[in-house]
Amino acid sequence: MRVLIVNGSPRAKGNSDLLCDAFLRGAQEAGHQVEKISLRDKVVHPCRACYACFQTGACVQKDDMADLLAKVEAAEVLVLASPTYFLTMSGQMKGFIDRLLPKWQGLSGKDAYIIVTGHDGRQGLRRNAEDLAAILENLGDSVRQIIWGERVWKKGEVLGTPAMEEAYQAGRHLGVR
């Protein structure tokens, strides 16, 4: 399967990044075609709400999003990873999601996975995960699993927690029902 992992954390080698890598390793070992994208490396301007894309199918802004949107369209499995910022997803992740607008009716039917991180326990990360899940379901995708990187604050704290193995196993067992 074609798998696209999108990391919405600005921290290189941070907790979300490490969980994405564990998922990626599992999926690669299972023979899938996997690509990981870190939004921190991309230029994605905020949606301008001009609605030109409703006429043309493309955004008027010339940044990295056209390329990202093509990758999202092509993916059979979509993994969204985000740290929890003030109870929900990072601004980077939300900005990316808003820019899905040109193709929002053509992104259904994917298997979706969610990776959330945060210093709180699961209850504090719940809104982040639920917001991402609601968006994916609204697009017509099926959320297969949420990976909870809970009680991790500093860079790398997720290493050695059960979430690492959960992310690896989720990647390893993609498509298995």
Ligand X SMILES: Cc1cc2nc3c(=O)[nH]c(=O)nc-3n(C[C@H](O)[C@H](O)[C@H](O)COP(=O)(O)O)c2cc1C
- Contact between 61 and ligand X by CB under 6 A: the answer reads no
Among 52, 85, 98, 165, binds ligand X (CB under 6 A): 85
Q: Is 156 helix (H, G, I), strand (E, B) or coil?
A: coil
6-14, 31-39, 129-137, 140-148 -> range binding ligand X (CB under 6 A): 6-14
- Residue 51 in the binding site for ligand X (CB under 6 A): no
**Is 9 an interacting residue with respect to ligand X (CB under 6 A)?**
yes
Count of residues engaged in binding ligand X, rule: CB under 6 A: 20
Among 4, 5, 6, 15, binds ligand X (CB under 6 A): 15
How many other CB atoms are found less than 10 A from the CB of residue 148?
A: 23
| DSSP for 66-95, written as a single string | HHHHHHHHH-SEEEEEEE-BTTB--HHHHH
> Contact 19/81 with Cβ under 8 angstroms?
yes
Return the residue of 34, 78, 83, 172 that touches ligand X, per CB under 6 A.
Answer: 83
Helix (H, G, I), strand (E, B) or coil at 14: coil
Binding mask 141-160 for ligand X (x = CB under 6 A): -----------xx-x-----
Name which of 26 and 149 has its Cβ closer to ligand X: 149
Q: Which of residues 111-130 bind ligand X (CB under 6 A)?
A: 117-120, 124-125
Backbone angles phi, psi at 93, to 5 degrees: -65, -40
Residue 151 corresponds to which tokens in the numbers above? 């009680």
Position among 55, 86, 105, 176 found at the interface with ligand X (CB under 6 A)? 86
Distance CA 104, CA 107 (A): 6
What six digits make up the tokens of 69? 């949107």
Sign of the CA dihedral with 56 first, then 57, 61, and 64 last: negative
User: Taking the complex as a whole, how short is the minimal distance between the CB of residue 151 and ligand X, in angstroms?
Assistant: 8
Binding site for ligand X (CB under 6 A): 9, 11, 14-17, 83-87, 117-120, 124-125, 152-153, 155
